[in-house]
Amino acid sequence: MKKTVEMNIESADPVFRSLCADAAARMKPAQVPGFSFAIYHKGREHYAGLGVTSIDNPLPVTADTLFQIGSISKTFLATIVLMLVEKGKLKLDVPVRRYLPGLKLKDEAVARRVTLRHLLTHAGGWDGDLLPDHGRGEDALRRTIENLHGLQQLAPLGKFWSYNNSGFYIAGRVIELIYGKPYETVVKEMLFDPLGMQKSFFFAEDVARHRFVVGHEVMHKKLKVAPKWDIGRGSYPAGGIVCSARDLMRYARFQLDGCRLPGGKRLLSEKTVKEFHTEIMPSTGFQGIALSWFTSRPSGAYFISHGGTTNGQQATLRICREKKYAVLGLTNSERGKMVFNPVLTRALEEYLGIKAVAPKLMKNPVSVKEYLGVYTHPLVNYSVSEGQNGLKVDHTLTDPKERKLYGQQPAIIYRFYEKDKLVAVDAINKGSFGEFLRDEKGRVRWLRLFLRVLPKKS
């Protein structure tokens, strides 16, 4: 990376320009080559592109450069589901098998009972991290759904919130069957076109006609271009959208305006929008979960938000309707959060006067024995041991090839801030929340880290 970061700023606002300078200063230490940044406040939009699209073939990043927005795509899917609910074509609380009779999961009782509401709130309880590659044909999503039956059930249906990509694959397939067209076509016709999102795509051949970024990963402490770009068509409902900061801000303003189009036409009623954005259950840390959206209340202001992580790219979108405020950050590095989290936190204070309040750290409980042990996931195992004034969590990838490729990852250091609740204090994961979850008898049975619930190994 260059010693200085090129900045393309579309704003004369001194506060926004100062935030851009702050971001630029963080990019090289964090190993983030490119950052696209936008804020909407008091009726004005501010845009900036910082850095480059790739360390191998660098081009300047602008507000029109295309990034993968990853799981922010899930909120597009949820918007469409609710549009179909209002049209009387779907219901949130009936078994999904009404629309997808052939659905098979490892737990047959879960397959019979799971609803669209479970899917949109990540409450299915099974391992949702299947990232399939069934080609680029129109049957990719169907073939993906046919291969969900082997996924392990990690928690009871509806008991906990646990991030589940494959639940959105199922919802995407339901949309295909109801609409009678490929999922990507539905999104274009129902959202991209009405919102004027002309630089928003799914397929690489469409992206390639515009300036776009590639992802970057840190392997053995060195920044490298990610070996894979596309996440696979079978995963598109959960995270396939590629767009510019300018287009994503169009979508943010659509949500801010109660799902109204720029001309005033509603795509959802205000009653449905309220249901869409209202917290349903707790998530992790100070967040909750609505229908696809994360929720939070810094200083009482109600925010909906979502992040996205793909192959070496990270993104975030945060919206506050009552303050008419939206902010987004798009990066082409797996360490993008190290840039956009502190910058967006500062933006919150500068524009809305809301100061971030860090949780008050506690000393370890008198006994931490009940927390210690190994918590398992099909992709990674977490070993929890006692550390000085906290817990040390070592993680081991289950795939030997990936362990060799990425090397041994540094331990994550957590501190308690409430009973059973953790916050990371190490440099890379600082501010990331976790928590232990108990069964009906009060025993520690699960650990929720990085948004996933993992059962404790007996």
CATH code of the region 369-455: 2.40.128
pLDDT on residue 132: 74
- Residue written as token pair 């409980």: 365
Say which residue, 243 or 131, is predicted with more confidence: 243
Query: Residue 3 pLDDT > 70, yes or no?
Result: no
The proportion of the chain whose per-residue pLDDT surpasses 90, expressed as a percent, equals 86
Beta carbons of 428 and 440 less than 8 angstroms apart: no
Selection from 28, 106, 25, 61 nearest residue 329 by Cα: 61
Mean pLDDT of 100-124: 97
Alpha-helical runs (H) found in 257-379: 270-277, 337-352
- Residue written as token pair 């999104």: 187
Range with the lowest mean pLDDT among 6-20, 44-58, 404-418?
Answer: 404-418
Task: Select the highest-mean-pLDDT range: 12-16, 157-161, 281-285, 417-421.
Answer: 12-16
Give dist(CA 147, CA 106) in Å, integer: 10
pLDDT on residue 410: 86
Contacts of 383 (CB under 8 A, 6+ apart): 373, 374, 393, 394, 395, 396
- What residue segments make up the domains of the chain, in order of their start? 1-357, 369-455
Mean pLDDT of 80-106: 97
Q: Give pairs for 430-434: CB < 8 Å, separation 24+.
A: 431/341, 431/358, 433/284, 433/285, 433/286, 433/287, 434/284
pLDDT on residue 1: 55
Query: Residue 340 pLDDT > 60, yes or no?
Result: yes
Quickly count: other Cβ atoms within 10 Å of residue 370's Cβ.
14
pLDDT on residue 134: 78
Give dist(CA 44, CA 66) in Å, integer: 22
pLDDT on residue 8: 97
Count H helices and E strands in the chain, helices first. 14, 22
User: Which helix (H) or strand (E) element contains residue 255?
Assistant: helix 245-256
Say which residue, 296 or 366, is predicted with more confidence: 296
Tokens found for residue 384: 């929890």
Give the 3-state secondary structure of 169-221: HHHHHHHHHHHCCCHHHHHHHHHHHHHCCCCEECCHHHHCCCCECCCEEEECC
How does residue 118 score in pLDDT terms, banded at 50, 70 and 90? very high
Has domain 1-357 been given CATH number 3.90.340.10?
Answer: no
Contacts of 116 (CB under 8 A, 6+ apart): 81, 90, 91, 92, 93, 94, 96, 171, 174
DSSP one-letter code for 268: S
pLDDT on residue 379: 87
How does residue 405 score in pLDDT terms, banded at 50, 70 and 90? confident
- Residue written as token pair 């993104």: 315
Query: Residue 152 pLDDT > 70, yes or no?
Result: yes
Task: Check for a shared fold between 1-357 and 369-455.
Answer: no
Specify burial of residue 178 (Cβ count, 10 A radius: 0-12, 13-18, 19+): middle
- 437 phi and psi, to 5 degrees? -120, 145
Mean pLDDT of the chain: 94
